[in-house]
Structure 1
Amino acid sequence: MPVISGSIPNLINGVSQQPFALRLASQAEEQINGFSSIVEGLTKRPPTRHVAKLINSLPENAHVHIINRDAAERYVVVAFNGDLRVYGFDGVERTVNFPHGKGYLANTSASFGAVTVADYTFFLNKDVTVAMSPETKAGRPPEGIVFVRQGNYACKYRIIVDGQAVAEKITSQTDPNDIQSSKIAQDLAAIINSWGSMVASVIGSTIHIRRADSLGFSLTTEDSLGDTGLVCMTKQTQTFANLPARAVQGYQVEISGTPGNPYDNFWVEYDQAGSGGNNGVWREIAAPGRQIAFDPATMPHVLVREANGSFTFKQADWEKCAAGSDETTPRPSFVGQRISDIFFYRNRLGFISDESVIFSRSAKFFNFWRETATDLLDTDPIDITTSHVKVSILRHAIPFNESLLLFSDQTQFMLGAGEVLTPSGVSLDQVTEFETSSRAKPVGAGQFVYFCTSRGEFTGVREYYIDGSTKTNNANDVTNHVPRYIRGKVFKLCASTNEDMLVALSDTDRDTLYVYKYYNSGQEKVQSSWSRWKLQPGDVILNAEFIESTLWLIVRRADGVYLDRLNIEPGVTDPGMAFVVHLDRRITEAQAEARFYYPQPNVTHIVLPYVPPDPKAVVIVARPGGSVPAGKVMPYKLIWNGAVWVYEVAGNLTHFYAGITYELRYTFSPFLIREDAPGGGRVANTEGRIQVRRCLLNYAETGYFRVEVTPYRRETQVYPFTGRIVGSGMNRLGQVNVETGSFRFSVMASNMNVKIELVNDTHLPSRHLNLDWEALYTVRTKRMQ
């Protein structure tokens, strides 16, 4: 029965649900409130820090959006029960004005989406069908114009209305004044007006004609210059060159273009003041009678930060159609459909609707209409539809690798473009086919995009990337070793590229953050760690968002909705201390609701800014700056004054942390002998019996932990480490000690019939590096290679 030894090189690869023989040595059975770091090893997760109370109550399906304007201005927007409110990160509610009411908010909160651009937050209700407004391009009553293009001696000019000549003039053979185009126009207009049933006016060389009774009429002209001296039109002419230089203000005419081709037609309108000179200009317009405006009540609304610090939630001023007809400049494809996502990409506002992606005009986020019907400009809107054998209703759009990645339920598409995103240079290609859960929007993290997949009662997560060697798109399942770990449906993903970390929120475990910590070295994934961070029982996490290395949480509790934060930055310590005080909902004395010192009987009364679920679970720790040694836990007397709990501490406590303890619990996988496999790698040797005798746990900068060893059907043995080592220079009386070294504990059980756990349920830090174990090994056979 030889004595053998083995080791776990590190504790940074989180949980694995694989059979124990297939796991890595560095993977655990369970990890709760532990942070896996390739730099620091396994540590206790950072504490949540109380920031502010926002509101007394919110439903679980409330939509929460965080506006990160800059370091000084950050806001929380909540939409629920047909209402919308805005709170600063200081907890103070901001005034929100509703000039157009709250009708757009009257739907399930889970159907909302939002994207912030500068001081504008575009707010989307995914259940509202976009409609056109009844507003149309105003037309004009029946009218016509006759343009005297040229005058000549002894020429006949005739204007015919409804088949009858209403004006005729023969110019002089010798008088040069009589052949001026303006003189011809004036003489013909005078003759028309003499009829009484017609009204004519002259603008330069142009005659404007209408009936006195405003009824319609036909208009033709004749002249002895081969019918080139006069040009007439009512509502249509074939070429733009036929238009006179001057016309009546607002005159509208259609340029028909090629006969039989409805797609080269366009409408123009005369603007007398357009050029600033004697002549106006012909401007392109929308076809008269065409619907030209979206119904703003059905389009995404905007939440605008005003200069005085208040907010306005209102209908947006969407641009109207300014050119073309329904054939030449068709409506955006989202009209008559619901918008399923809203995003910002390459200086364009984008919508996803059904199977289409629609972009606004470049740098004009409120304009989804082409500028002209005569040409397709690079700045025009983009409206492109997927092409696939399957029905591909698009759900989400994520910028990725200098392009746009689009997700449907079963297929992923890539919107490609050149250096500039233009209507003529854009393409939408199917790249991969992975089933996707549409509940949580995918999130980009550097060279990866993470998205969820449904696994019955559980959720998986895939890591989308472009393979650097093959240049192909792929999505690895990063939960393939924990397929039944994330319970329920994930409704939110957020990622930090600073910390190589992904957080998932589930609709089943509302008090839990599912944390994925990863690290890639070139093409090799060095770390792929899943674990759970649990808050206090009864907490409901409504939203989570990373801003740099800080995770901001919106949490609903029994006494209200709170804003908390976790600082994930590695190596951080509390000011004046060698470690971080690990207390959830942690506050300092400045955040206390009240703090009173009573000289007689020399006690300090402290009132917390929140109601803890278990008042006795609160811990008060002295921090630097006061008369009490930093890190000392202060005993207290709990007093109910009829309204709040009061914590009475002896002495004048001026500097302290207060919060609720939480527990780190790490359960080791069974210890195994691992050998080199013939084909490479390592394989577990499960032959024989391994009777574990003792373990040596290496730690650093640790103040407390304990090891709980529970052999099968035997009592649990507890081995505590208090941070104090006899003879150590760090062991100073009256101060909190953190030590670095090795901790030996006994097991004396079979590797398959023992549960070994690391536990830290105090405010002190613990940092675990690796573990060596020693065992008696009994084998009846010898493996042959």
Structure 2
Amino acid sequence: MGVLPAEPLLGGVSRQPDPVRLPSQVEESINMLPDVAIGLTKRASQDIIKEIAEADSEITEDSFTQFFEDSEGNKYFMRIEDTTGGKKSVRIWDLDRDDETDVNTPVGGPATEGYFGLPSGVKPKDAFRTATSADTTFITNNTVETAEGLIFPVTTVDTTAGFFVKIEQANSDYTATINWSSSTHPAGNSETVTYTSPAASSNNRGPNKIARELRTLFVATTIAADSALTLTVDEGVLIVRLQDSSSSYYLETKVEEDPVGNEKGFTAINREVSELTDLPTVWRHGDYPIKITGTSETDFVQYYVGFTATDPSATDTTVARGTWAETLYYTNNVPPPTQTSSSLPARLIIDKSDWTAARGYAFLLEHEDADGDLYNGRTVGDTDIAPDPSYFGNTINDVFFYKNRLGFLSDENVILSELGEPYNFWTTTVLDVLETDPIDISADSAQVNVLKRAVSYDNNLIVFSKDAQFQMAGVPSPTASALSHLASYESDTDVKPVTSARAILFASPDTDDSSRVMEFQAIDTNIFTADDVTLHIPKYIEGRLAGMVAHTASRTTLCWTGRTDAGELYINNTLHQGAEKVQNAWHKWSLNSSAIDLNHIMGAHFFDDEIYVTLRNTSDDSIVITKIDNSPALYEPMLDYRYRLDFRREDTDLTITPSGSNYEFDYPYCSDSNFPKVVRHDPVTGETEEIDVISVVGTTVTTAEASNFSVGMVPEYSWKPSRPVLKDQNGKPLLHVINNLELQSAWVYHSNTHRYEAVLSSVGRDTTSDPMIATEGATSQYNVVAIETDAYETKVGAVYRDLDLEFTSHNIYPATFVNLEWHVEAGSYKG
């Protein structure tokens, strides 16, 4: 008889042909965990965190759902829905409290709710995207195009022009002209006056004298009879204001000649000047901006300035001293078009002023706050010198945070907010480019690439379109950042990529009934490659992936599909030694209850080492949120870890009533064909014992005990070994003898195990079950049942090609499988 070397059972599932599998890989693994420290062990229990009835949730298979955590560590479950049919947009449950919390829309509520309306046929889970930082979550609807702000119709005119006597020239003519139209002069009118300044020896002279005399001359013309015009003089400035009933009326001032000769001593001020120093320190408070056109010395940089009086009590009729500051262009009290917050991502924040013990904190969902629009609009320039963000008129496909900036993906662009200012996507000055300015860059590609997903990786931002990947490297900069093309891999952008310990994992379409997962990572500076980490499990992930989450500390990735008939999580565990990946183990956890239809996994999330899962009952749309404690300590063999029981309820959670000499209670996760387990456990002594279930009728359980117990369901823990492959001394499979290799027995080395069964079937034989039960008197962690570490032989007696062997452990007690050793008939092959 020959012995094939024992191998640790840590390689996970492989669906490749036997000769090319790794010795550590198995055919199937359900509800097990390949832990590199102890072996292939049972996963932890699945505990009920919250049950939400269908009438309370408004959740369907197409709802968007998400877990998140606030700055105080409170955990929440959120669902987002289409409001077109009358559902409330956002509903939130604090997972540590009994009641649903409140989501209020105190300002602009109807508009905010309207933002969550979807076109016919669009699913909420495909339309909504979120980004959370501390106590703030942004929610985007990728079907909504960002809209321009409303331009209110202007039916009146209110504008200002003037003359600035900056330098006096004695014995000189100052000729000024006012052109205007008004209701008095609808066809237009023009008045020109000339004042000759006094001699240099005069005591009554100066810029203000000239301005006053020009006003006197103008008042003596037809201007006096036009009530639409007002003329004011202060500090050498003659200010002309036109107010009338039609926005089509106009006002213009002109000077015929500058007496000083340098075109700076006497100027007309309209809507443009070449330099800021051309403007006086006295003007009308709050008047329309004036454009600075620039000079050759300033590279003709253009910008707008507005005037603010020093006196805080000034109104728009006040002419006074003040200052000019950069502002945005507008005319007749109407600024240029800007964005409306109601078409941008909604903000969800925790209301720390509103808390109750039953539901915890309330939330505010808003596009506006008490000061108006949530997002800033344009504050300087116009559409030419301060262009609109590129998301204007487009949908926002994803929202994210990156290095203290809020980010949007829209069309082919990445748009990042001003540094530290998530509500501002506009430049704050056109006179300089600041490193804190917003950033708006497009993908560097010859093909059209609509950007769909963004994720941070290794201090860079990686962005996905359907067919390509791009990178914004390092610290974002409005002067230096670029969105460079990295690679061209097809991805399923409905699934958000996740970062693992060393790479980005993303979904890639395979077929309609199966999925692949790709590992995208840098192999050199700006050189990335993607490897198919599911290559060895073709068709194993059944259905199209619906989501992924990764946990770096435990090197674990969870994947789930859109199937509504399975309730399975696909798990990938990895381990690196240096640059080498020594573990890439796929397996699955079946989290459904066979007694009721909890067959749809809608989402999963890691809160530290705890895995939270959303399970939907496909019969009535009720929701069960469960928790699996995946902390390493739970699997330590020397610790008194708890027995394995899913959907556990304590006796204190049940309504227990006498039934003759027994007691009965309702437990909705069982059926008369699928009995639950009733268990008494002493956390002090570690003693655990099962209590007999007398009967189950429907969901009514009868037992002899009235208190001090837990009830739950035992999942099917099982794994199938790969069939052994004989190899020569160089490790090459001996293909010519494999099919006829006679397998005598399989030795399983187990640790801290109570019981398991080896279920064997082969051609021409009935299926048999060979139980391993720990020897009485063995070291026990549970005091009532035996727990042992040993090896157990299962007689096989089958030819390789006919073998089907499975190990199961359908009980509440621990079981860990370390490795498997095959004994083969030495005469059945030739070396």
Separation of aligned partners in 2, 1:11 and 1:629: 29
Q: Which amino acid aligns with 1:769?
A: V
| 1:446 correspondence with 2:491 | no
Separation of aligned partners in 1, 2:537 and 2:761: 24
**Cα distance change of structure 1 residues 460 and 568 upon mapping to structure 2, 3 Å threshold:** same
Separation of aligned partners in 2, 1:134 and 1:661: 61
Please tell me whether the aligned partners of residues 762 and 803 of structure 2 are also in contact (alpha carbons under 8 angstroms). Answer: yes
Separation of aligned partners in 2, 1:157 and 1:755: 109
**Cα distance change of structure 1 residues 212 and 397 upon mapping to structure 2, 3 Å threshold:** closer
| 1:658 correspondence with 2:711 | yes
Separation of aligned partners in 1, 2:311 and 2:670: 70
| 1:721 correspondence with 2:772 | yes
1:408 CA displacement: 1.1
Partner of 1:200: 231
Partner of 1:303: 348
Partner of 1:225: 260
> RMSD between aligned alpha carbons?
2.9
| 1:291 correspondence with 2:319 | no
Partner of 2:429: 372
Q: Which amino acid aligns with 2:611?
A: L
Give the alignment partner of residue 160 of structure 2, picking from 143, 151, 172.
Answer: 143
Please tell me whether the aligned partners of residues 190 and 200 of structure 1 are also in contact (alpha carbons under 8 angstroms). Answer: no
Q: Which amino acid aligns with 2:762?
A: P
**Cα distance change of structure 1 residues 455 and 371 upon mapping to structure 2, 3 Å threshold:** same
Give the alignment partner of residue 216 of structure 1, picking from 250, 260, 268.
Answer: 250
Please tell me whether the aligned partners of residues 259 and 266 of structure 2 are also in contact (alpha carbons under 8 angstroms). Answer: no
Q: Which amino acid aligns with 2:677?
A: V
Please tell me whether the aligned partners of residues 640 and 781 of structure 2 are also in contact (alpha carbons under 8 angstroms). Answer: no
1:159 CA displacement: 2.0
Q: Which amino acid aligns with 2:252?
A: S
Moved more, 311-320 or 360-369: 311-320
Please tell me whether the aligned partners of residues 452 and 466 of structure 2 are also in contact (alpha carbons under 8 angstroms). Answer: yes
CA deviations 1:474-511 (Å, max 9, x no partner) are 11110111121112211101001111011111112551
CA deviations 1:543-576 (Å, max 9, x no partner) are 1111211111111124621211111112317999
Separation of aligned partners in 1, 2:706 and 2:338: 68
Partner of 2:703: 649
Please tell me whether the aligned partners of residues 104 and 297 of structure 1 are also in contact (alpha carbons under 8 angstroms). Answer: yes
Separation of aligned partners in 1, 2:641 and 2:787: 8
Separation of aligned partners in 1, 2:509 and 2:798: 40
Partner of 2:458: 401
1:266 CA displacement: 1.8
| 1:571 correspondence with 2:633 | yes
Q: Secondary structure at the match of 2:826?
A: strand
CA deviations 1:439-497 (Å, max 9, x no partner) are 211001232100011111321111111226x8731111101111211122111010011
Separation of aligned partners in 1, 2:428 and 2:258: 39
Partner of 1:528: 584
**Cα distance change of structure 1 residues 436 and 158 upon mapping to structure 2, 3 Å threshold:** same
Separation of aligned partners in 2, 1:488 and 1:502: 17
| 1:165 correspondence with 2:187 | no
Give the alignment partner of residue 401 of structure 2, picking from 327, 344, 355.
Answer: 344
**Cα distance change of structure 1 residues 535 and 432 upon mapping to structure 2, 3 Å threshold:** same
Give the alignment partner of residue 271 of structure 1, picking from 292, 308, 311.
Answer: 308
Give the alignment partner of residue 722 of structure 2, picking from 650, 656, 669.
Answer: 669
**Cα distance change of structure 1 residues 777 and 207 upon mapping to structure 2, 3 Å threshold:** same
Please tell me whether the aligned partners of residues 666 and 700 of structure 2 are also in contact (alpha carbons under 8 angstroms). Answer: yes
Please tell me whether the aligned partners of residues 541 and 553 of structure 1 are also in contact (alpha carbons under 8 angstroms). Answer: yes
Partner of 1:706: 757
Partner of 1:103: 114
1:753 CA displacement: 1.2
Separation of aligned partners in 1, 2:47 and 2:243: 80
Please tell me whether the aligned partners of residues 262 and 328 of structure 1 are also in contact (alpha carbons under 8 angstroms). Answer: no
Separation of aligned partners in 2, 1:140 and 1:412: 52
Please tell me whether the aligned partners of residues 601 and 613 of structure 2 are also in contact (alpha carbons under 8 angstroms). Answer: yes
Moved more, 210-219 or 152-161: 210-219
Partner of 1:687: 737
**Cα distance change of structure 1 residues 354 and 720 upon mapping to structure 2, 3 Å threshold:** same
Which aligned pairs between 1:230-269 and structure 2 lie closer than 5 A?
A: 230-251=266-287, 252-257=289-294, 264-269=301-306
| 1:492 correspondence with 2:577 | no
Partner of 1:174: 201
Partner of 1:464: 520
Structure 1: gaps of 5 or more residues: none
Separation of aligned partners in 2, 1:625 and 1:428: 56
Q: Which amino acid aligns with 1:267?
A: Y
Please tell me whether the aligned partners of residues 778 and 787 of structure 2 are also in contact (alpha carbons under 8 angstroms). Answer: no
Q: Secondary structure at the match of 1:297?
A: helix
1:127 CA displacement: 1.0
| 1:630 correspondence with 2:637 | no
Give the alignment partner of residue 117 of structure 1, picking from 133, 137, 141.
Answer: 133
1:631 CA displacement: 1.8
TM-score (norm 1): 0.91
**Cα distance change of structure 1 residues 430 and 506 upon mapping to structure 2, 3 Å threshold:** same
Please tell me whether the aligned partners of residues 11 and 34 of structure 2 are also in contact (alpha carbons under 8 angstroms). Answer: yes
Separation of aligned partners in 2, 1:421 and 1:774: 61
Separation of aligned partners in 2, 1:729 and 1:314: 61
Partner of 2:357: none
Q: Secondary structure at the match of 2:814?
A: coil
Q: Number of aligned residue pairs: give it.
A: 761
Partner of 2:187: none
Q: Which amino acid aligns with 1:594?
A: T
Q: Between the two proteins, what is the percent identity of the paired residues?
A: 23
Separation of aligned partners in 2, 1:55 and 1:571: 34
Separation of aligned partners in 2, 1:169 and 1:614: 112
Please tell me whether the aligned partners of residues 35 and 45 of structure 1 are also in contact (alpha carbons under 8 angstroms). Answer: yes
Partner of 1:60: 61
Partner of 1:410: 467
Give the alignment partner of residue 13 of structure 1, picking from 11, 16, 20.
Answer: 11
Partner of 1:476: 531
Q: Which amino acid aligns with 2:140?
A: L
Partner of 1:754: 803
**Cα distance change of structure 1 residues 780 and 303 upon mapping to structure 2, 3 Å threshold:** closer
1:690 CA displacement: 2.1
Q: Which amino acid aligns with 2:579?
A: Q
Please tell me whether the aligned partners of residues 602 and 652 of structure 1 are also in contact (alpha carbons under 8 angstroms). Answer: no
Q: Secondary structure at the match of 1:743?
A: strand
Moved more, 398-407 or 288-297: 288-297
Separation of aligned partners in 1, 2:151 and 2:299: 23
Partner of 2:70: 69
Separation of aligned partners in 1, 2:686 and 2:680: 7
TM-score (norm 2): 0.86
Which aligned pairs between 1:33-48 and structure 2 lie closer than 5 A?
A: 33-48=31-46
CA deviations 1:370-415 (Å, max 9, x no partner) are 1122222211111101121222111111101111011111111111
Separation of aligned partners in 2, 1:265 and 1:136: 26
Q: Secondary structure at the match of 2:212?
A: helix
Separation of aligned partners in 1, 2:153 and 2:557: 51
| 1:79 correspondence with 2:80 | yes
CA deviations 1:115-160 (Å, max 9, x no partner) are 1122221011111111112247999634212112123443433322
Partner of 1:133: 149
Please tell me whether the aligned partners of residues 637 and 752 of structure 2 are also in contact (alpha carbons under 8 angstroms). Answer: no
1:239 CA displacement: 1.8
| 1:312 correspondence with 2:364 | yes
Which aligned pairs between 1:758-777 and structure 2 lie closer than 5 A?
A: 758-777=807-826
Q: Secondary structure at the match of 2:710?
A: strand
Moved more, 208-217 or 555-564: 208-217
Q: Which amino acid aligns with 1:273?
A: T
Q: Secondary structure at the match of 2:192?
A: strand
Please tell me whether the aligned partners of residues 156 and 169 of structure 1 are also in contact (alpha carbons under 8 angstroms). Answer: yes
CA deviations 1:162-187 (Å, max 9, x no partner) are 364235242343234x2333333333
Separation of aligned partners in 1, 2:151 and 2:712: 60
